[in-house]
Amino acid sequence: MRAYIALTLIATGLLTGCVPTEKQYDAAVRVARGSESQRNGLLNECIRQLGLSDTKARHNAALFLNVAEKDAPKIACGRYTNAIVSGDISYQDMLDIKNHRYTPKLIKIFRGG
């Protein structure tokens, strides 16, 4: 249950101030690495939280990601989830996302590079 809570916090960290502690983040990453169902849960929670129901936001995200508008939430969250599991997104990167500081590293990750 704790892992699910931390994974949910990671997913919502993209959008809100609900970012886990570094210890929670590290624990959740370990769980996600070892469990496909937890990775899928992280992906699905991210998509649910991100939503992009606003047409303009979805359009802008699609342009940034270089994907079709309908695919923008799934692609953004898939890249995010994969980067967390692979270790490409660190706890500091999570804080940067929360604070809307999109470093060249994060831009590259979200663009699929």
Q: How many domains does the chain have?
A: 1
Amino acid at site 52 = L
- pLDDT tier at 5, thresholds 50, 70, 90: very low
For 89, which DSSP code?
S
Domain range for residue 14?
Answer: 2-110
The residue to which tokens 């101030």 are assigned: 17
- pLDDT tier at 6, thresholds 50, 70, 90: very low
pLDDT digits (tens, 9 = 90+) for 51-93: 667 888 888 888 889 999 999 999 999 999 999 999 999 999 9
Q: How far is CA 61 from the centre of its chain?
A: 14
Task: State the Cα–Cα distance between residues 94 and 84, nearest whole angstrom.
Answer: 9
